[in-house]
């Protein structure tokens, strides 16, 4: 059996059913490519069993030849070759476990760049700024992902149009990486690719991945696939960009696209929460044709999967490319609304039985708690610290911790307060009752993980100034580590001190949520139908 499959490989069955072989991301890429004919940059998937083989016995002896064969076919399709100095094929190397583990494993973008291919890329693109910006991004990501350099030890990529400044930063990055890692980033693209694939395999057993699996109850023996894909570039110019979008709002269930978008950026800029994003609706102002196509794609994906889809995409010189689709995680109240509305949606027609399977009694109970919390969030704004984006519903108080490790050691309820979160923070996030970040948008790492775990979260509270062991609001209120704050993951408000949430057993809010009443009615009918007379 082959170890590697092109995205458009004919498996004789729907790729969406092959997550155990292709991983979730690979299955989604193959489904969009072969079943839906959507614009997916071509590539191939190194299958999940290879990861298990690597873990038990190292790099398989026949894997190099199979990778070379697929690279040759990919080069023929793209009409450029990997390692070509004049017109290089660059690659994205991404993980893809059989179950969704957002951001927990490693990614390397722009792979194939070196001191010679960057010149070829600049000449072919007729854009030196773009080429050197891309090269600096590659050096930074490769050093931190593959070579173990701490991200905060490297100068972040410059956002400048001055080519000489980018070239100077390139030299500084190379010198710093050599100093910290003891070796340079390899010049040979083939070596780069092998080391990147190995890094993705190793990331399956990273501390952050283990912490996430423990929280989610995921089998540690599954392993991950590796997806190798032709690069498309959201950082080329004003007609390029990147984003992450849900086909429906995963916080409220509202039937409209929900997500973040950035001009002249690559995907990591969006999910890392380090740049201020724009709501996905604003994409139509800047790139109307690509936005219209994206919204139509979201409708097609929902109809195909009969579920909410979480989509990563890039626009390169005005052309839309899809980089991933998966079933979107959602909070309990959103799960209720979405399930009921999809039963009556003529393009989906979800069955009542399937709706009840998606929204279990436990999820319905959690939805009641969310509704009760939302009904009592009128708090005196005298103690208001700031107002950000409600990223994950819930009303909660806890002591402030500014370091994820402190959350692990805490014996009381704590709220993790950070500038942004990264996959390295997941153990501390899992130990917290709430999450607050001063940067990031609705699909930042903090927002996505918190929503998936139903942890109340507020992101993007830009008026808060973080220090080493305290933070200060715009009005001058000071909060030290160990002080109590309250966050409302629905409204996005943050207060100093403890503010009481309403009784979670309160029934009144549920009466104003007809979708929950409808689900309860269907559940009661199904239970009565199964009772033997």
- The per-residue pLDDT for range 239-282, each reduced to its tens digit, is 999 999 999 999 889 999 999 999 998 987 877 666 778 999 99
Which H, E and C letters describe 232-273, residue by residue?
Answer: CCCCCCCCCEEEEEECCCCCCCCCCCEEEEEECCCHHHHHCC
CA dihedral angle for residue 229, residue 230, residue 234, residue 238, rounded to 10 degrees: -160
pLDDT digits (tens, 9 = 90+) for 372-383: 766 555 566 778
Lowest mean pLDDT among 78-92, 302-316, 503-517: 503-517
Cβ proximity of 225 and 100 under 8 Å: no
Q: Give the separation between CA 330 and CA 393, rounded to whole angstroms.
A: 10
CATH architecture label of 1-81+92-97+206-230: 2-Layer Sandwich (3.30)
Sequence-separated (6 or more) residues with CB below 8 Å from residue 198: 54, 59, 146
Cβ proximity of 23 and 201 under 8 Å: no
In sequence order, the β-bridge partners of residue 227 are 45, 94
User: Other C-beta atoms within 10 Å of 304: how many?
Assistant: 18
Structural tokens at position 506: 């309160």
Q: What rounded mean pLDDT belongs to the chain?
A: 92
Q: What pLDDT score does 237 carry?
A: 84
Lowest mean pLDDT among 68-77, 368-377, 451-460: 368-377
- For the chain, the distance separating the N- and C-terminal CA atoms, rounded to the nearest angstrom, is 53
Residue 532 above 80 pLDDT?
Answer: no
Residue 130 above 70 pLDDT?
Answer: yes
Same fold? 1-81+92-97+206-230, 380-496: no
Q: What pLDDT score does 271 carry?
A: 73
> Does the domain spanning 380-496 belong to CATH 3.50.30.10?
yes
Categorize the per-residue pLDDT at 500 as very low, low, confident or very high, splitting at 50, 70 and 90.
confident
Q: What pLDDT score does 139 carry?
A: 98
Percent of the chain's residues with pLDDT above 90: 77
Q: What pLDDT score does 381 carry?
A: 73
Nearest to 314 by CA among 290, 343, 348: 290
Q: What pLDDT score does 275 carry?
A: 74
In sequence order, the β-bridge partners of residue 261 are 243, 278
Cβ proximity of 320 and 313 under 8 Å: yes
Q: Give the separation between CA 40 and CA 46, rounded to whole angstroms.
A: 17
Structural tokens at position 39: 């614009």
Task: Name the residue with tokens 């997941």.
Answer: 426
Categorize the per-residue pLDDT at 510 as very low, low, confident or very high, splitting at 50, 70 and 90.
low
Cβ proximity of 114 and 187 under 8 Å: yes
Q: Give the separation between CA 158 and CA 361, rounded to whole angstroms.
A: 50
CA dihedral angle for residue 208, residue 211, residue 216, residue 221, rounded to 10 degrees: 80
Residue 497 above 90 pLDDT?
Answer: yes
Categorize the per-residue pLDDT at 222 as very low, low, confident or very high, splitting at 50, 70 and 90.
very high
Q: What pLDDT score does 117 carry?
A: 98
Q: Give the separation between CA 216 and CA 464, rounded to whole angstroms.
A: 32
* Structural domain boundaries in the chain: 1-81+92-97+206-230, 380-496
Q: What pLDDT score does 415 carry?
A: 97
Extract long-range pairs of 7-13: CB within 8 Å, 24+ residues apart: 7/33, 7/34, 7/40, 7/42, 7/43, 7/44, 7/45, 7/229, 8/33, 8/34, 8/42, 9/34, 10/34
Categorize the per-residue pLDDT at 393 as very low, low, confident or very high, splitting at 50, 70 and 90.
confident
Q: What pLDDT score does 159 carry?
A: 85
Categorize the per-residue pLDDT at 101 as very low, low, confident or very high, splitting at 50, 70 and 90.
confident
Question: Which of 4 and 389 is assigned the larger pLDDT?
Answer: 4
Residue 194 above 70 pLDDT?
Answer: yes
Residue 507 above 70 pLDDT?
Answer: no
Structural tokens at position 291: 């936005």
Q: Which uninterrupted H or E stretch holds 406? A: helix 404-409
> pTM for this structure?
0.88
Lowest mean pLDDT among 83-87, 170-174, 265-269, 391-395: 265-269
Q: Is 37 exposed, middle or buried (0-12, 13-18, 19+ CB in 10 A)?
A: exposed
Residue 347 above 80 pLDDT?
Answer: yes
């Amino acid at each position: 059996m082959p170890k590697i499959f092109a995205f458009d490989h004919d498996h004789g069955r729907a790729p969406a059913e092959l997550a155990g072989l292709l991983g979730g991301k690979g299955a989604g890429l193959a489904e969009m490519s072969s079943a839906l004919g959507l614009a997916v940059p071509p590539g191939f998937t190194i299958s999940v069993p290879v990861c298990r083989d690597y873990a038990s016995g190292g790099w398989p002896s026949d894997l190099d030849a199979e990778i070379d064969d697929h690279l040759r076919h990919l080069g023929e399709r793209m009409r450029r070759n990997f390692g070509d100095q004049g017109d290089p094929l660059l690659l994205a190397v991404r993980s893809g476990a059989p179950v969704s583990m957002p951001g927990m494993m490693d990614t390397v973008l722009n792979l194939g760049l070196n001191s010679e291919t960057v010149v070829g890329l600049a000449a072919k693109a007729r854009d030196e700024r773009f080429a050197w910006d891309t090269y600096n991004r590659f050096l930074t990501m490769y050093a931190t992902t593959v070579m173990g350099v701490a991200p905060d030890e490297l100068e972040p990529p410059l956002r400048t149009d001055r080519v000489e400044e980018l070239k100077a930063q390139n030299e500084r990055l190379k010198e710093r990486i050599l100093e910290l890692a003891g070796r340079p980033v390899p010049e040979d693209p083939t070596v780069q690719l092998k080391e990147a694939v190995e890094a993705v395999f190793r990331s399956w057993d990273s501390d952050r991945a283990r912490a996430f699996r423990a929280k989610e109850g995921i089998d540690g023996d599954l392993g991950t696939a590796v997806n190798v894909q032709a690069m498309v570039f959201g950082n080329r110019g004003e007609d390029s960009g990147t984003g992450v979008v849900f086909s429906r709002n995963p916080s409220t269930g509202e039937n409209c696209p929900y997500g973040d978008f950035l001009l002249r950026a690559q995907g990591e800029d969006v999910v890392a929460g380090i740049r201020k994003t724009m709501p996905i609706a604003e994409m139509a102002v800047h790139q109307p044709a690509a936005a219209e196509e994206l919204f139509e794609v979201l409708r097609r994906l929902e109809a195909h999967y009969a579920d909410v889809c979480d989509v990563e995409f890039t626009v390169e010189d005005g052309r839309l490319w899809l980089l991933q689709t998966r079933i979107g995680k959602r909070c309990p109240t959103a799960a209720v609304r979405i399930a009921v509305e999809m039963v009556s949606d003529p393009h989906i027609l979800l069955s009542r039985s399937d709706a009840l399977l998606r929204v279990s009694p436990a999820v319905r109970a959690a939805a009641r708690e969310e509704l009760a919390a939302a009904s009592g969030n009128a708090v005196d704004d005298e103690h208001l610290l700031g107002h950000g984006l409600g990223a994950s519903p819930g009303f909660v108080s806890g002591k402030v911790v500014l370091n994820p490790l402190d959350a692990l050691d805490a014996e009381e309820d704590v709220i993790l307060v950070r500038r942004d979160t990264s996959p390295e923070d997941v153990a501390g996030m899992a130990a917290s009752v709430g999450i607050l970040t001063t940067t990031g948008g609705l699909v930042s790492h903090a927002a996505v993980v918190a929503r998936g775990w139903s942890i109340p979260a507020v992101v993007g509270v830009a008026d808060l100034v973080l220090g080493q062991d305290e933070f200060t609001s715009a009005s001058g209120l000071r909060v030290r580590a160990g002080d109590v704050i309250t966050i409302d993951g629905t409204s996005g408000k943050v207060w100093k001190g403890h503010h009481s949430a309403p009784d979670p057993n309160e029934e009144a809010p549920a009466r104003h949520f007809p979708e929950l009443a409808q689900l309860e009615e269907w559940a009661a009918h199904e239970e009565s139908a199964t009772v033997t007379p």
